[in-house]
Chain A
């Protein structure tokens, strides 16, 4: 064959085609393809998790006060996953989004792995590693020096609430040391405690028998947005939906279509801040229609006559609708008022009605006026301390049977707390942390040293600028944080805490739970880094200080203090990890509910800012996917946050489509959100889930510290607002702030 161009092409094409066809029959090409994909994936940096024997160990989750029993799945000694424990008294097998991701708190980049001392300037982020001995002696020497100079009251302490053994040890330390400045941040549950004392004369916390109630009026409580013990609430909601015999009705009275409102049988939209007035209007309906529980009102209440008069003259639904109905169109106002009336009637006629408050996930206090009004509804239908499906008072636990604190002359002397209270409050000034920054900034040398134990005030307090200024004035800040949180950036020395999986932690009765339950976390993994339980740290500091302070801490360690504190519950806790008081019966004998006549409308908490300058109102949005407390989200949780709340590093705010149009914004527009205290760049999300005139701001974003997964995302709601004091308690009851969008 002559090799011309035509033949060459013919042969080569046939060859190529033959080769291609042939290769289909040969395994070689397939093998090569398979191998290439295998080998191209065999990178040394792709981890191959080690296999081993699988085991489960149970403990109690201590990341929130929820008290869920959880188990950790381990491969040899390595924890790989958390799951709920079937039969747990609070969570029966369930677990929440935060509990599931606890291992990211253990191993994540934001974990504090060793004691640290600040090296550079504050906020510069330069630290040197120190040993535990150095850390303990550094703190105890500084505190001894202040005490020696007669400055013991200049030492402050902030804990995460008052409950639990760790907080009690810090409180004890402050007492022995001689400082009245121990604080924590009040929540809706503190408001309830105050209200129980005012209206029932009892010392206790609020519990709600939600599993047995059949008609629930929720005044803004985000029952499915993190309120109370979240897993218990999800399970209660599912029980309502399963109930065939008697349908359980949930009416959500809320400024926005929160997840709770979306799951409710009826969402009654209201203007934020009018919850108390709406409750009074419902009381008006119940009283006018003669539907109240005469037996309970006659025999177990006082002040009904005044209440009756106020409600009848001032809280007619038509009158309340003028301030509370979010759409002021006559036909809608009429519909809204009828809805309010029919719901009030159904509530009063129900067998086991229950009304409750809570402001979103419940970590913001509620004003006493609002609680008085909502509790009045419970009193009118006889739900207080009712056998089943009511609101019960869980009595405060007895003081831990520890030996008395030993006080020296300095500690015995009276010293006023830095924060002052108006009127009577259950814990004095202690839960008025929201007033501390102002008090520090107003005085010269208010506090010289501060212990921050399990709290993150720089993040959780309203008006971040004021808080930062106050922290800046304190010479010496000790943080016990396990994560590099916001307040950590202002600290001078860090004594890192364990994560509960590495430690012994008690979990007192979860907020809102209807019977006393006590949980105990026990170490299920060895401490991964050079950390120490906060309880042990404070005991060691006390011992290092010697004298009466050391005498006040006679225990070998935190474990001993815990065992003694738990007393008769210890055996049950030690073996089962949980103690339930099944025989609990709420106290009824001689308990009278006191109606407060002046409640609701005239005591409506007003917001900062003028309507002319700031035509809009910021209202917070809570979701369980965003932690709002001292503990931030985990990386996995941030991953689940909707892009209508966070987009790249920018906060997304919810604005009603009509309001957005009015100000010339479209979906995704960038805007400046300005309040009387701060300004932030935000993106606009046009939403039908919020009333016109409001700006919904997600809480839980905008951390300034942590790692690349959690920090620097969006804006912290608390930087945009400023505290508004409840005239009755002094708690910060700001439910928003006026704002403008430009």
Chain B
């Protein structure tokens, strides 16, 4: 249980890593490569009919946002949504899902900041799914199937889930393990590019930047700390997180040069904007 030794540490992240992601929505083209890279990496199955988007399992899902205006003033923007690996209030590890799990099947790691999911402990109560404000958790309503010889391409790095358990994005934790094993064997620190999630690696637009939010040398730190030299990526944009007012403290940041996208992604800003509009209506 060394992973959770810091459980009593209410001050949040002490010296460990805190892996996070910055997604540049101005670069994202909605091509879907991140979604299938994730499926291929993490042994996610597929059903004959996946058009009911409520029961389709996509750890990484690309949403399409719209500015709500009529033709020809309509604009759209894609927004990839992995698990946010929430740190909870004060980054103390009280993620919405971790807090409600009765089986300790999902846990917050102070060493990496990753919210784990231990399939064999999960008995499928789905409290976590109700608690997650990002709909990042998925339930296996059916046994997974790999007809023909498709199970031949399954990866041994990720265990195959079964009917009745919840699953979600793990920030490709197995890749962290593999990279750490190698670094440990070679008696050195982990380099930024050694541990990258499958979606980050696959994204043909290079829209995803992944690294340690606690490490000043990592690009994600630079982008998320204004005083740092993140300018070449930021280009005047301010990173935002989804539903920040819930104090879930997500580790996934977004960049967009378009105001309506920032507003769509952050409900509190949106509510404010609405309030202003409403008062305007009374005058």
Nearest chain-A residue to B74 (Cβ)? A688
CB of A580, distance to nearest CB on chain B (Å): 20
CB of B185, distance to nearest CB on chain A (Å): 14
B36 CB contact (under 8 Å) in A100, A648, A709 = A100
Interface 1/0s, chain B 147-177, versus A by CB < 8 A?
1111111111001111011000000000000
B269 contacts the other chain (CB 8 A): no
B148 touches A109 (CB 8 A): yes
Most chain B beta-carbon neighbours within 10 Å: one of A47, A51, A52, A91: A47
Decide: A37 near B122, CB < 8 A? Known: A49-B154, A109-B148, A230-B204: yes
B235 contacts the other chain (CB 8 A): yes
Q: How far is B71's CA from A327's CA once the two chains are assembled, in angstroms?
A: 9
B206 touches A269 (CB 8 A): no
Interface residues in A233-279 by Cβ distance below 8 A to B read 234-235, 237-238, 241-242, 244, 257, 259, 262-263, 267, 269
B51 touches A107 (CB 8 A): no
CB of A41, distance to nearest CB on chain B (Å): 5
B30 contacts the other chain (CB 8 A): yes
Most chain B beta-carbon neighbours within 10 Å: one of A52, A238, A259: A238
Interface 1/0s, chain B 202-238, versus A by CB < 8 A?
1111110000000000000000000000001001000
B53 contacts the other chain (CB 8 A): yes
A96 CB contact (under 8 Å) in B58, B120, B121, B204 = B204
A95 touches B206 (CB 8 A): no
A257 CB contact (under 8 Å) in B29, B62, B74, B155 = B74
Most chain B beta-carbon neighbours within 10 Å: one of A97, A326, A646: A97
Q: Size of chain B's interface in residues, with CB distance under 8 A?
A: 71
A689 touches B74 (CB 8 A): yes
Q: How far is B154's CA from A45's CA once the two chains are assembled, in angstroms?
A: 14
Residues of A within 8 A of B149 (CB): 107, 528
Decide: A46 near B36, CB < 8 A? Known: A262-B76, A688-B70: no
Q: How far is B32's CA from A657's CA once the two chains are assembled, in angstroms?
A: 27
A407 contacts the other chain (CB 8 A): no
| Count of A-B residue pairs with CB < 8 Å | 209
Most chain A beta-carbon neighbours within 10 Å: one of B69, B71, B198: B71
B132 contacts the other chain (CB 8 A): no
Q: How far is B39's CA from A732's CA once the two chains are assembled, in angstroms?
A: 38
B40 touches A101 (CB 8 A): yes
* Interface-located stretch among A151-159, A183-191, A299-307, A634-642: A634-642
Residues of A within 8 A of B29 (CB): 224, 234, 237, 259, 263
Residues of A within 8 A of B62 (CB): 640
Decide: A639 near B64, CB < 8 A? Known: A41-B120, A688-B74: no
B70 CB contact (under 8 Å) in A104, A111, A235, A657 = A657
B160 touches A96 (CB 8 A): no
Interface 1/0s, chain A 69-103, versus B by CB < 8 A?
00000010011111110000001011111001101
A716 contacts the other chain (CB 8 A): no
Residues of A within 8 A of B74 (CB): 257, 688-689
A40 contacts the other chain (CB 8 A): yes
Interface 1/0s, chain B 42-74, versus A by CB < 8 A?
010010111111001010001010100111101
Residues of B within 8 A of A100 (CB): 33, 36-37, 40, 202
Residues of B within 8 A of A635 (CB): 46
A625 contacts the other chain (CB 8 A): yes
Nearest chain-A residue to B202 (Cβ)? A95
Decide: A244 near B232, CB < 8 A? Known: A94-B204, A642-B64: yes
CB of A47, distance to nearest CB on chain B (Å): 5
Nearest chain-B residue to A103 (Cβ)? B153
Q: How far is B153's CA from A237's CA once the two chains are assembled, in angstroms?
A: 32
Nearest chain-B residue to A104 (Cβ)? B150
A36 contacts the other chain (CB 8 A): yes
Decide: A646 near B205, CB < 8 A? Known: A46-B160, A81-B155, A100-B36: no
Decide: A33 near B27, CB < 8 A? Known: A107-B148, A230-B204: no
B51 touches A646 (CB 8 A): yes
A49 touches B160 (CB 8 A): yes
Residues of B within 8 A of A244 (CB): 232, 235
Nearest chain-B residue to A36 (Cβ)? B123
CB of B11, distance to nearest CB on chain A (Å): 30
Interface residues in B53-106 by Cβ distance below 8 A to A read 53, 56, 58, 62, 64, 66, 69-72, 74-78, 103
Residues of B within 8 A of A47 (CB): 146, 151, 154, 160
B143 contacts the other chain (CB 8 A): yes
A639 CB contact (under 8 Å) in B58, B76, B198, B232 = B58
Most chain B beta-carbon neighbours within 10 Å: one of A326, A327, A688, A707: A688
A109 touches B147 (CB 8 A): yes
Residues of A within 8 A of B154 (CB): 47, 49, 80
A689 touches B156 (CB 8 A): no
Q: How far is B151's CA from A47's CA once the two chains are assembled, in angstroms?
A: 7
A624 touches B123 (CB 8 A): no
Q: Size of chain A's interface in residues, with CB distance under 8 A?
A: 84
CB of B43, distance to nearest CB on chain A (Å): 7
Residues of B within 8 A of A83 (CB): 201-202
A499 contacts the other chain (CB 8 A): no
Q: How far is B150's CA from A528's CA once the two chains are assembled, in angstroms?
A: 12
Interface 1/0s, chain A 685-708, versus B by CB < 8 A?
000111110000000000000011
Q: How far is B69's CA from A41's CA once the two chains are assembled, in angstroms?
A: 48
B12 contacts the other chain (CB 8 A): no
Q: How far is B70's CA from A339's CA once the two chains are assembled, in angstroms?
A: 19
Residues of A within 8 A of B273 (CB): none
Decide: A78 near B152, CB < 8 A? Known: A84-B202, A244-B235: yes
Most chain B beta-carbon neighbours within 10 Å: one of A37, A235, A242: A37
Interface residues in A1-47 by Cβ distance below 8 A to B read 33-34, 36-38, 40-41, 43, 45-47
Interface residues in A602-628 by Cβ distance below 8 A to B read 624-625
B144 contacts the other chain (CB 8 A): yes
Q: How far is B26's CA from A636's CA once the two chains are assembled, in angstroms?
A: 25
Q: How far is B56's CA from A231's CA once the two chains are assembled, in angstroms?
A: 26
CB of B30, distance to nearest CB on chain A (Å): 6
Q: How far is B41's CA from A75's CA once the two chains are assembled, in angstroms?
A: 13
Residues of B within 8 A of A52 (CB): 156
Q: How far is B65's CA from A338's CA once the two chains are assembled, in angstroms?
A: 29
Residues of A within 8 A of B33 (CB): 95-97, 100
B183 contacts the other chain (CB 8 A): no
Q: How far is B121's CA from A36's CA once the two chains are assembled, in angstroms?
A: 9
A643 contacts the other chain (CB 8 A): yes
10 closest cross-chain pairs (CB), A and B: A94-B204, A49-B154, A688-B74, A708-B48, A109-B148, A234-B204, A51-B156, A640-B32, A103-B153, A37-B123
Other A-B contacts than A48-B159, A83-B202, 12 sampled, CB-CB below 8 A, are A47-B146, A78-B153, A80-B155, A84-B201, A94-B205, A95-B204, A107-B153, A528-B149, A624-B32, A643-B52, A688-B69, A689-B74
Could you show 9 A-B contacts with beta carbons less than 8 Å apart? A33-B103, A49-B155, A75-B155, A80-B156, A109-B150, A257-B75, A263-B29, A640-B36, A707-B148
